[in-house]
Amino acid sequence: MSFNINQTKTLFNDSEYLKSHDDNINYPSIFNINSNNTDISECYILEATTNIPFHLIHNAVSLDASSIKINYPNMCKFTLKILNILSTKLHFSGNSFSKVPLLLGDLTLYYTQYLANAIFEHPHATEPFINSINLSNDINKAFEELISIFFDHVSLEHFIRKSRNFNNNDKLKFLFKKGDILQFDIIINSPNFKNQELFDVKINNTLWKINMLIS
């Protein structure tokens, strides 16, 4: 699809509809599954609008003094639920990248709004990116890598022992409780544009933190 940056900008002029978007949510406990120690300066937070049922994670994994135990049939149910939540609409929380209220959607829609805002100065000018196969593939690959952590004994045990301050001589009845938050980090690298008008456009790498409530 061909498009002109300046022409697209004129379709979304500033109006009285513009307002700041700042809606922070505070949680008592957040457990980051795949925390990334990066120097990425742009970080955005998304809240799942669907909760994770407590019994799914409780039945999927347990840990005692000897080792972690994964119930694979229940772990499949748990991870399928996570993938389902990731593909549904998410709530944007915290400081926005735009002065314009964002459209409610999944991670792909929020990122296309991010690109539209960076290039056209308005987040709703997403048409050039809606059918981007590369973008969808990159995000789906990130989701698959995230899910694989739950089937890796070493990674999962390291996460649980670290997040729960769990010693070898301890035994927990419940690894997680209702009200806990599972947080997932998704890094989206700067895209490579083929359109000549976009060669000089600078898009930063971004970190997206997705929070899911256990209920």
- Of all helices (H) and strands (E), which one includes residue 79? helix 72-86
Tell me the C-alpha distance between 111 and 116, whole Å: 9
* Domain range summary for the chain, segments of one domain joined by +: 24-191+201-213
Residue 92's φ and ψ, nearest 5 degrees, are: -80, 125
pLDDT tens digit string along 160-190?
777 766 555 555 567 888 898 999 999 998 8
Whole-structure pTM over 0.85, yes or no? no
Average pLDDT of span 66-92: 92
- For the record, the structure tokens of 77 come out as 């149910």
SS3 48: strand
